[in-house]
Amino acid sequence: MQLHHFSVQDISSRNKESMHWYASRVLIKCLFPNEEVVIMKDEHNKPSLMVGGKAYHISITHSHQMAAVIVSPVKLVAIDLELIDNRVDRVSKKFVGIEELKYLDSPPSTEALTTIWSAKESLYKLNGKRGIDFRLNLFIEPFIANAQQLNGFIILDDNRWKYTIEKRLIDDYILTYIIAG
């Protein structure tokens, strides 16, 4: 039994919003070409998937010209895709915590900031609830630039959940995903 699938697609287009939606549906259909597929969203806008009447965990992401999905019939999954772009430098104060600043170079590289942003987005999607502060409730342990695995934490109240986050560099994009459990 396969525990997860993921797929990535280039979606170059003028109308990115509709193309992102369309690309994610095409990717899902590519994963399940002969099945009836239904996507539902909960009160926090977290998607779930029914394929041929069987429940699947799903996560969807898009960034500029790329889209990706990850699904699993048994494990919680989360995925994020971010273009490596220096605009992340200007907004890093919104998602980089004090402990992360201690291990980052000064100034941090755009790729390192994009990696942290994407990894935290994956953690946020895995948690699936609104109201998380990216600086206070999500933490990424120190990592080396070409690492393909990172460790991250969701910290809520007195609880800490640790997750392994897979990282891939695809052209000028950082892709991170989590398969929990």
Output the pLDDT for position 21. Answer: 78
Average pLDDT, the chain: 90
What is the secondary structure of the chain as a DSSP string?
Answer: ----EEEEEE---S-HHHHHHHHHHHHHHHHSTTS-EEEEE-TT--EEEEETTEEEEEEEEEETTEEEEEEESSS-EEEEEEE--THHHHHGGGT--HHHHHHS-SSPPHHHHHHHHHHHHHHHHHH--S---TTTTEEE----TT-SEEEEEEEETTEEEEEEEEEEEETTEEEEEEE--
Residue in the structure block whose two tokens are 């600086």: 135
For the cut 50, the answer to whether the pLDDT of residue 70 exceeds it is yes
Confidence of residue 64 (pLDDT cuts 50, 70, 90): confident
Lowest-pLDDT range of 7-16, 41-50, 56-65, 80-89: 7-16
Of 173 and 129, more confident: 173
Under a CB-based contact definition with an 8 Å cutoff, are residues 131 and 149 in contact? Answer: no
For the cut 80, the answer to whether the pLDDT of residue 9 exceeds it is no
For the cut 80, the answer to whether the pLDDT of residue 114 exceeds it is yes
125-147 per-position pLDDT tens digit: 999 988 899 999 999 999 998 99
- Of 55, 57, 64, 68, the C-alpha closest to 25 is 68
Predicted model pTM = 0.88
